[in-house]
Structure 1
Amino acid sequence: MSTQSPVQYPIRAAAKLTGISIDTLRAWERRYQAVVPVRGERGRVYDAGQISRLRLLRDVIERGHAIGQVASLTDTALEALLAAPAAVQGTVQPTAAAAGTPELLEPVLNAIEAFDFTQANALLGRLAALLPARELLTHVVLPLMREVGDRWHAGTLSIAQEHMVSSSLRNLLGGLMRLNTPSAPQARILFATPSGEMHEFGILAAAMLAASSGFEAVYLGPNLPAREIIAASERTCPLAIVVAIKTSSSAEEVIEELRLVASQRPMNTELWIGGGEAGQVLPALRSSRLFALHNFEEFEGHLARLKGASL
């Protein structure tokens, strides 16, 4: 009498069955050994029991527990947590992550103050595994950028520490942007900063938001001459070009670079300019289809407008 081999699911199938992203599944295995799949000819494969356990972990985390607190629990213990009243659920409530509380950022800031680059990267990577992309940006990355900037201006963080954070966030956001680029994007949006503008976090975070909203983000990076931005836009035909300038960047040479982009971009491509001085720069560009972005809420509003127009 023959016996059937147990069904095994490759990681892509496991992600679909559990609703947990492939990146998160790998992170849970690597950091917490939440499940230990067999490695076969097709890579990681999960059995039915592991799929069931992953679903339990997913449900427990949705009730407010951190993966680091529950990864080692047995399936029976996980089921008991799910059966418990919501009032006595885990110590980490969903509102804590969603509110961007100091408790969420404090371990990262402590690592930065201690020049512990490895720990800072590990903590940020853990948050990236636990939070959806938009929540990571709005409740971790952007508040961290503001806090580090404030501490740098106050003299409590050094330039070296600020650069360390810049490196960590650039790697994190760049990786997330690649992971969140949709397989069938609705349209392209191009991101860059003009010549002389080295600060890229604004456009990098904006590119991540665009990708998570269903757009293809063509990310060119900082300090790009106007003619290179124009050439790239001619090749890619984006719905919009997004550039960012700092408050101190409204010098005539920057305005001239933006004027060149505004006058020579493709006919149907909008130009969005982000930064505190964006509204003051627009009149000097003498062009149409220009928009100033003073915050990410305005940026998301324009994304929604483009998405509605493209449907």
Structure 2
Amino acid sequence: MPVITDIEPITQTGDGRDSEGLYPIREVARLTGINPVTLRAWERRYGLIEPKRTESGHRLYSVTDIGTIRRVMDWLERGVTVSKVAQLLASNTACDDPQPVANEYAEWQNRISSALAAFNEPELERLYGQVFSSYPAEVVFQGVFLPLWQQLLKTRDVFGRTSEWLLLDGFLRGRVQHRLQLQAMDARQCVVVVAMPELCHELELLVAGLLLTHSDRVVRVLAIGQPLDELSLVCDRLEPQAVVLFANHALNTAQHRRLERLAQALNCSVSLAGEAANVAQEALAGSSIGCLGSEARLMNQRLDADLKATQGS
């Protein structure tokens, strides 16, 4: 889709501002990464910003407007819907207050828990669809479903919880696998995601793979139980640009050494993701192994940087 700039000739300084310190919509789009169509929608539908207008009707944005746009972006990235952001800004709610988001997620989790307790899979399917239509994938899983899945996993000693956990686990694994199958297999980059043995569950591995998918890369998630000593054979066939090892439990000394030997044996970049990566950064600081972390945005940013560095070398 072509970018609509909506700009008229105005006297500008060298940094894109006009002489009164106002920015045209093209420059605001460049500074914030939000396209002009979305900026107009935020103004017309939700009243999130109110740019000034020239005599011919073109929009000009102040530094305050740009700050508001970035606040909106922060809320959206944390999973708040656009309509709720408008309410928060109108009531002058502090942007660093996570309570509205936490309450919103808890409401979904309560409804999902009720469906699980009744073993009502059609209702579970309906709620899953509603959550996915309201939030990006990282919020759907890391904000709503996985915390509930983890809570049920930790309380499996309570009568009935194991059955509820199994229902949710099987349901989510099926939905994530389906979404992974919808990737464009002709993407120019390939990333292989594989579990460190016995350090994560299958659902956690699948979700990590899904959250690393991107329009210009295909993610191949290898099955739980994939032998690491056969990974070089798999990579010879798939020719990935990167291999991401996933673990949600800390690596011991032997596992660290195994990971380092694996990185030396593979002809591509090797990274560690998951909770294990959050605690292994210092131990792996001097190695060629990257630590992607466990949060979706951070994982993707670091993987993107790693892939760019590999291409440039």
Cα distance in 2 for partners of 1:250, 1:111 equals 36
Structure 1 stretch displaced more, 98-107 or 190-199: 98-107
| Counterpart for residue 161 of structure 1 | 164
Q: What's the TM-score once normalised by structure 2's chain length? A: 0.57
Using a 3 Å threshold, how does the CA distance of structure 1 residues 299 and 159 change in structure 2: closer, same or farther?
Answer: same
Using a 3 Å threshold, how does the CA distance of structure 1 residues 162 and 304 change in structure 2: closer, same or farther?
Answer: same
Q: CA deviation at 1:148?
A: 2.9
State the AA in 2 paired with 1:161.
Answer: E
Query: For the aligned residues, what is the CA RMSD?
Result: 3.7
Q: CA-to-partner distance for each residue in 1:212-255, whole Å, 9 max, x for gaps?
A: 342111111323211232221222221211111122x5245544
| Counterpart for residue 277 of structure 1 | 276
In the alignment, structure 1 segments of 5+ residues that lack a partner are 1-15, 17-58, 65-91
Percentage of pairs with the same residue: 16
Q: How does 1:1-311 map onto structure 2 within 5 Å?
A: 94-95=82-83, 99=101, 101-128=105-132, 130-131=133-134, 135-142=135-142, 143-154=144-155, 158-179=161-182, 181-182=183-184, 184-247=186-249, 250-251=251-252, 254-255=255-256, 257-266=258-267, 269-278=268-277, 280-281=279-280, 288-296=287-295, 297-306=297-306, 308=308
Aligned residue pairs: how many? 217
> Is the Cα contact below 8 Å between 2:155 and 2:161 reproduced in 1?
no
In the alignment, structure 2 segments of 5+ residues that lack a partner are 2-40, 47-79, 86-99
Structure 1 moving runs of 4+ over 6 Å:
282-287
State the AA in 2 paired with 1:299.
Answer: M
Using a 3 Å threshold, how does the CA distance of structure 1 residues 305 and 198 change in structure 2: closer, same or farther?
Answer: closer
Q: CA deviation at 1:163?
A: 2.1
Q: What's the TM-score once normalised by structure 1's chain length? A: 0.57
Structure 1 stretch displaced more, 224-233 or 277-286: 277-286
> Is the Cα contact below 8 Å between 1:203 and 1:242 reproduced in 2?
no
> Is the Cα contact below 8 Å between 1:210 and 1:217 reproduced in 2?
yes
Using a 3 Å threshold, how does the CA distance of structure 1 residues 265 and 138 change in structure 2: closer, same or farther?
Answer: same
Q: CA-to-partner distance for each residue in 1:1-20, whole Å, 9 max, x for gaps?
A: xxxxxxxxxxxxxxx9xxxx
Q: CA deviation at 1:191?
A: 0.5
SS of residue in 2 equivalent to 1:101: helix
Q: CA deviation at 1:166?
A: 1.4
